């Protein structure tokens, strides 16, 4: 398995576990998280030794959606850079949604914005009593674009 910096990817028996590992920002995703999850699913989708995939977040959050620091940087991107980022996000969701194995979101805490999107593309969602689902973008007058892809 590849070396990742923002996710943990491990095999437990016949189950692949992907843990978003950025607890300091409530597991918010950025370009690196998106590329690493996509890479993990490319690997998973090609394997015959697995029976299921579990997606979860480190510590007490599932995923707080997009990292606001990254979103600030995106404002400075060119059209081409924004398009590439958007296509990477779409590819990640597509790889997850079309995974031939059952995908299980283990929602251990808040799933905000794009975090809801991550849960939504999974086949099964198991939520703890601490789970919160929110499309917080609407409070700002924005369309919850990450899950409308």
User: 41-85 pLDDT, tens per residue?
Assistant: 999 999 999 999 999 999 999 999 999 899 888 889 999 999 999
Give residue 36's domain range: 7-147
State the catalytic residue, choosing from 10, 81, 91, 137. 137
Write b or e for each residue in 99-131: b if 16 or more Cβ atoms lie within 10 A of its Cβ, otherwise e.
bebebbbbbbbbbbbbbbbbbbbbeebebeeeb
Residue 141 has pLDDT above 90, yes or no: no
Q: For residue 16, is it within any domain?
A: yes
Q: How many domains does the chain have?
A: 1
Q: For residue 98, is it within any domain?
A: yes
The answer to whether the CB of 40 falls within 8 A of the CB of 9 is yes
d(CA 30, CA 45): 22
Q: Which are the contacts of 5, defined by CB distance < 8 A and separation ≥ 6? A: 32, 36
- Reply yes or no on whether 137 is catalytic: yes
Q: For residue 2, is it within any domain?
A: no
**Arithmetic mean of pLDDT, 3-9:** 97
CATH number, domain of 36, equals: 3.90.226.10
Paired strand residues for 127: 107
Q: For residue 1, is it within any domain?
A: no
């Amino acid at each position: 398995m590849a070396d990742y910096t923002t996710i943990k990817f491990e095999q437990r028996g016949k189950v692949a576990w992907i843990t978003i590992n950025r607890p300091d920002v409530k597991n918010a995703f950025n370009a690196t998280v998106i590329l690493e999850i996509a890479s993990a699913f490319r690997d998973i989708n090609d394997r015959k030794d697995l029976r299921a995939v579990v997606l979860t977040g480190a510590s007490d959050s599932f995923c707080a959606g997009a990292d606001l620091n990254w979103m600030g940087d995106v404002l400075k991107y060119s059209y081409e850079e924004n398009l590439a980022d958007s296509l990477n996000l779409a590819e990640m969701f597509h790889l997850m949604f079309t995974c031939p194995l059952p995908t299980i979101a283990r929602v251990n805490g808040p799933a905000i914005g794009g975090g809801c999107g991550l849960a939504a593309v999974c086949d099964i969602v198991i939520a703890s009593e601490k789970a919160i689902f929110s499309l917080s973008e609407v409070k700002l007058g924005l369309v919850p674009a990450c899950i409308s892809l």
